[in-house]
Chain A
Amino acid sequence: MDIFVQTKNRFSRFLSAFFKKKRSRIGIYGPPNAGKTTLANRIARDWAGDAVGAVSEIPHETRRALRKQDLCISGANGHSITIDIVDTPGVTTKIDYKEFLEYGLDKEEAITRAREATEGVAEAMHWLREDIDGVVYMLDSTSDPFQQVNIMMIGIIESRKLPVIIAANKIDLPDAAPQKIRSAFPQHPVVPISCLEGKNIEELYEQMVHSFR
């Protein structure tokens, strides 16, 4: 390589390191069981190169929110985004350890699990105010989108002026009604998907590149 080109390359590498844009952090929020972790895993599988992408627990933070760093997602038009994906525990206003007893845990385990869950939710709420640049809000298309927690969360996200995509998940199920979600949140892009089967997932990636750029 010509010395001139070499120098130029080195210089632009230096520049890009120097002006390295902060990766945007995209939070996956939504009620419990909507499919947030399934989506986070699929995104990591689809886009993590060999360099990064393993699911890793954040040290000294909640044991329940997972972060997958430095994912580059590209769309059909050649645009791409580099993001960290933050998978959060389902947001709720109540957690009763007794519910965990039904899954065969003993009381002590159930209490520990409930405490971890409360810490995870508190932290997810905190991050939403401090640390998140965009949101994929996950809903199960087979359940009522008008639940108070969804209305509240979308209101909180809107008040922070964060870009949001609503993923209407589980469209593989016969009683899925993604159009109900569309009419509940007409002000935001709604993408019907099946995280389990991968149906329409490309469309979600396109929307992410578009909304989070």
Chain B
Amino acid sequence: MLQGVQIDLISQESLENMTSMEKIHLILDKVRQGTIVILEKGLEPDEQSKLIEMTMKEILPDDFNGIEMETYPSREEGSFLSRLIGRHSTSTRLTVIGPANQLKMIKKDKDQISAWISTR
């Protein structure tokens, strides 16, 4: 059988139709099975915070030791003025999430995320 790693790309449309908890469970279920998840649109700050909290609760010795996550840099945060009036968008973009023992981020700059994935 072909050896390898599964990568799931999840569209913005399907993410928009899920609740925060649905998204977090989907991500953690996949990642726990060793799947690399790529989200077309990133999580909201509150969802990121809950994802970290849930990840911590799922960690088990010799089984799951957490996640690696990288988000493509968000678009320019708007002008100084729009920031001043509190209208700066925090919309995050392309996000890669995987098991910490299989996914290593190599490099990230404003145009590219480089990651290295190993089989289990």
Contact = CB atoms under 8 A, between A and B. Distances in A.
Interface of A: 91-97, 111, 114-115, 118-119, 121-122, 125-126, 128-129, 146, 148, 151-152, 155-156, 158-160, 187
A111 B60 CA distance: 9
Q: Interface of chain B, helix or strand or loop or mixed?
A: mixed
Q: Interface of chain A, helix or strand or loop or mixed?
A: helix
A93 B45 contact: no
A155 B45 contact: yes
Contacts of B100: 93-94, 96
Contact of A148 (B45, B56, B70, B101): B70
B88 to A, nearest CB: 8
A118 B66 CA distance: 10
Given A121-B52, A148-B69, A156 B57 contact: no
4 closest Cβ pairs, A-B complex: A94-B66, A94-B100, A159-B45, A122-B56
A97 B92 CA distance: 31
A118 B83 contact: no
12 contacts: A92-B66, A94-B59, A94-B68, A96-B66, A96-B101, A97-B61, A125-B49, A126-B53, A152-B69, A155-B48, A155-B90, A160-B45
B7 interface: no
A187 B83 contact: yes
B67 interface: yes
B59 A156 contact: no
B101 to A, nearest CB: 7
Contacts of A156: 45-46, 48-49
Interface residues on B, range: 20 to 34
A112 B69 CA distance: 25
Contacts of A91: 52
B59 A95 contact: yes
Given A94-B66, A95-B66, A118 B49 contact: no
Contacts of A93: 52, 55, 66-69, 100
B72 to A, nearest CB: 11
Given A93-B69, A96-B65, A159 B53 contact: no
Contacts of B71: 148, 151-152
A122 B48 contact: no
Given A93-B66, A93-B69, A95-B59, A148 B52 contact: no
Nearest to B109: A146
Given A93-B68, A96-B66, A159 B59 contact: no
Given A95-B66, A126-B53, A152-B71, 15 more contacts: A93-B69, A94-B55, A95-B56, A96-B100, A114-B59, A121-B52, A122-B53, A125-B52, A129-B50, A146-B108, A148-B105, A152-B45, A155-B45, A155-B48, A156-B45
